[in-house]
Structure 1
Amino acid sequence: MKRIRIFLVAISVVTLFLAAESFARKGMSKGSGGWGPGTNYSKMYDPATVETIRGEVVGVEQITPMKGMSYGVHLTVKTDKETIPVHLGPGWFIENQDIDIGPQDQVEVKGSRITFDGKPALIAREVKKGEETLTLRNEEGFPVWSGARRR
């Protein structure tokens, strides 16, 4: 009887350990969904390449920029010079903001010009629509959805 109790206790301890490890891994993998400040994607933002564009939103899409990331939201903005993809940020963050940006909206976007999949794009720092401003990153490119953590 004593052996059975010891065996059951040992099984319980191992089960609890494995469950705790599983929950920890699940939580760690979710995090910012690959959109955090130390990720390869986030490192593409370069404050030295920041510019401002103005134009009309001609599309809003969900994209997954890199393998292993959660989906994000990007705009396609038509300016007087080009039509360019504008990466906003993770879907879970963008979809919880008060500002609604859609096709035919006139916007002003400040962001870092990058080359993404061999084509020009912007990683947005802020998007203005009328009197509303959606702030996505600080001047150094640190994402606002990452809270108080610093690089």
Structure 2
Amino acid sequence: MNVKIATLCIGLIVLIHANGCFHSGNQERTIKPEPSKSHEQSNFVRPHDTRQSWVEENWTKPKPDMEELAKTSSIETLRGQILSVDTVTIVKDMAEILHVMVETDEEIVPVYLGPKWIFEMEQFDIKTGSDVVIKGYRVDIGAYRVMLTLEIETGGQKRVLRNRDGVPLWGTILKAEA
């Protein structure tokens, strides 16, 4: 009997964590995660007028936090093998970010590459098991430490994603299409 109760409790905890809500009597409460400092300072906005002005405003200028990060962080080169490939959404309504786990000789590193669509549009293959060289710097996004990619090379392909100041270069692609 105690095993069944413990299993039920664990199941409820997992459900609460996954859904961000719990019930107390007749009241429903929502657990909202605290926004990280980087999200509070984000200048990300949805395009409301023209695509061109949105691109200029949000994708081709350095963000204040990125400039500071670039001044205080040193660029690292990561050499290893891709263990997994998935997507994450950092900010609500933002494009999905391609996320990989890279195993080096010393550690396993979570890496944020850039918007998934840029890799799809350019037919740049990111495959599990592939050898990879990534240049970037480590950042804290909430409680999660990741490498933010400046440049990636894998499978004979190379792509520069951000400049040294952290400014995304995929905005120039959008700008050219607008």
Task: State TM-score, norm by structure 2.
Answer: 0.58
Residue 163 of structure 2 is matched in structure 1 by: 138
Structure-to-structure mapping, 1:43-122, within 5 angstroms: 46=70, 48-122=73-147
Structure 2 unmatched ranges of 5 or more: 1-46
Residue 150 of structure 2 is matched in structure 1 by: 125
Is contact 1:44-1:114 (8 Å) kept? no
Note the aligned Cα RMSD (angstroms). 3.0
Report the residue type matching 2:86 in the other structure: E
Q: How far does residue 44 in structure 1 lie from its aligned partner after superposition?
A: 7.7
Separation in 1, partners of 2:166, 2:86: 22
Is contact 1:88-1:94 (8 Å) kept? no
Provide the aligned length of Structure 1 versus Structure 2.
Answer: 124
Separation in 2, partners of 1:101, 1:45: 26
Larger Rg: 1
Q: How far does residue 119 in structure 1 lie from its aligned partner after superposition?
A: 3.1
Report the residue type matching 2:107 in the other structure: E
Q: 1:132 to 1:138 in 2, by over 3 A?
A: same
- Could you tell me the percent identity over the aligned residues? 28
Is contact 1:41-1:66 (8 Å) kept? no
Q: How far does residue 110 in structure 1 lie from its aligned partner after superposition?
A: 0.1
Residue 25 of structure 1 is matched in structure 2 by: 48
Separation in 1, partners of 2:145, 2:68: 12
Separation in 2, partners of 1:85, 1:44: 21
Separation in 2, partners of 1:80, 1:70: 32
Q: How far does residue 112 in structure 1 lie from its aligned partner after superposition?
A: 1.4
What secondary structure, in the 3-state scheme, does the structure 2 residue paired with 1:123 have? Answer: strand
What secondary structure, in the 3-state scheme, does the structure 2 residue paired with 1:95 have? Answer: helix
Q: How far does residue 50 in structure 1 lie from its aligned partner after superposition?
A: 1.4
Separation in 1, partners of 2:152, 2:69: 16
Q: 1:104 to 1:133 in 2, by over 3 A?
A: same
Report the residue type matching 1:111 in the other structure: G
Separation in 1, partners of 2:94, 2:128: 25
Task: State TM-score, norm by structure 1.
Answer: 0.67
Which deviates more from structure 2 when the two are superposed, residues 130-139 or residues 44-53?
44-53
Is contact 2:67-2:165 (8 Å) kept? no
